[in-house]
Amino acid sequence: MEGGISNYLQNQLKQAQQIEGQIEQLNNQKYQMDLRIKELTKTLEELEKIGDNTPIYRSVGPVLYKVEDKAKLVEELKEQKELSEIRIKTIEKQQKSLEEKYKEIEQLIQKTYQDSQKNQ
């Protein structure tokens, strides 16, 4: 029976480690989305400051293209920002769910370990 508990604990610990890794990946994704939103916000602020007759260029890879329709560009950037904000909310929900699951596993591991110590 002791070997079964040990294997069970090992599996739970492995699962907890996997969840930790997933949480870390989500943190990285959230950080990248935050940076993207800040960049888009700054770009939109700068576009508001310039006149309609000021030439605007858009970077596509290593090439700059002149933008003919400022309003269309602003709409595209606002849409990208909105999608990024939605993505962050999704990431936060996933993160919360994984953190709850992690806490459950952690409690289960502690209880199982304590029970195994009592039985020795």
Domain ranges of the chain: 2-118
Per CATH, which fold does 2-118 belong to?
A: Helix Hairpins (1.10.287)
Q: What is the pTM of this model?
A: 0.79
pLDDT in tens, the chain (120 residues): 444 567 888 898 999 999 999 999 999 999 999 999 999 999 999 999 998 889 999 999 999 999 999 999 999 999 999 999 999 999 999 999 999 999 999 998 888 878 877 776
Distance CA 61, CA 48 (A): 24
- Res 4: pLDDT: 53
Residue type, 90: T
Strand partners, 54: none
Question: Which alpha helices (DSSP H) does the chain contain, by range?
Answer: 2-49, 70-118
Q: Answer whether 12's CB lies under 8 Å from 108's CB.
A: yes
Both structure tokens of 9: 């604990």
Residue with tokens 């999608």: 83
Both structure tokens of 17: 């480690």
